[in-house]
């Protein structure tokens, strides 16, 4: 995927988290922000977190030379200055998708559970309450991914909702989760 810088942020419900950035800039609610993202594992579920980090100029007119090619392979924190810009803090963070690695999945069983061909890649899909579940059959393993219809604002409730939806889907399919690593408990 290329070279990244990292930003350490205090994220709702997750605490201090390291996200990757290529310094892609966006205007979010009138503020200049950099996109940051990564996978965070919660109760065995991989959550794809996307965040927008506020940037502020360090002088009246500041050049924003930050972009993929300028990644310094460094870790930054809120308050640090990068080029002529200060990392001011978190603007917002959302969950866009989540997935669980499973024991091998059976195509016939997936079809019986309501999954249909999603595209020519061989993935099977089923609409759920929060979005679309995609099942992938791999040699020796499988995975079930939930692509959220709308990103959910990062919170304990959102995490709990996504984790529960995926675990219920795995249970519905009668599949076994390959790895369980509780890193954050949302009770």
**Residue 31: closest CA among 79, 90, 84, 75:** 90
Q: Please give the Cα distance from 4 to 38 (Å, whole number).
A: 11
Record the pTM: 0.86
Length of the chain: 187
Q: Please give the Cα distance from 84 to 32 (Å, whole number).
A: 13
- pLDDT at site 137: 86
- pLDDT at site 77: 96
- pLDDT at site 4: 84
Q: Which domains does the chain have, with CATH numbers?
A: 5-94 (no CATH), 97-173 (3.30.310)
- pLDDT at site 182: 42
pLDDT (tens place) for every residue of the chain, 187 residues total: 346 889 999 999 999 999 999 888 888 988 989 999 999 999 999 999 999 999 998 888 777 655 555 666 789 999 998 878 899 999 999 999 999 999 989 889 999 999 998 877 778 999 999 999 999 888 888 999 999 999 999 999 999 999 999 999 999 999 888 764 444 433 3
**Cβ atoms of 165 and 128 closer than 8 Å:** yes
- pLDDT at site 83: 79
């Amino acid at each position: 995927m290329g070279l990244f810088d990292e930003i350490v942020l205090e994220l709702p419900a997750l605490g201090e988290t390291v996200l990757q950035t290529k310094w892609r800039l966006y205007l979010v609610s009138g503020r200049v922000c950099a996109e940051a993202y990564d996978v965070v594992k919660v109760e065995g579920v991989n959550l794809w977190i996307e965040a927008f980090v506020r940037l502020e100029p360090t002088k009246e007119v500041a050049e924003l030379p930050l972009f993929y090619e300028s990644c310094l392979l460094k870790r930054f924190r809120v308050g640090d200055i990068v080029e002529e810009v200060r990392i001011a803090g978190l603007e917002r963070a959302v969950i866009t998708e989540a997935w669980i690695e499973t024991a091998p999945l059976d195509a016939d069983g997936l079809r019986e559970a309501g999954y249909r061909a999603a595209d020519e890649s061989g993935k099977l899909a089923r609409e759920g309450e929060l979005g679309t579940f995609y099942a992938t059959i791999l040699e020796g393993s499988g995975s079930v991914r939930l692509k959220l219809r709308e990103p959910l604002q990062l919170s304990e409730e959102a995490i709990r909702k996504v984790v529960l939806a995926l675990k219920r889907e795995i249970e519905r399919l009668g599949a076994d989760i390959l790895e369980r690593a509780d890193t954050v408990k949302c009770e």
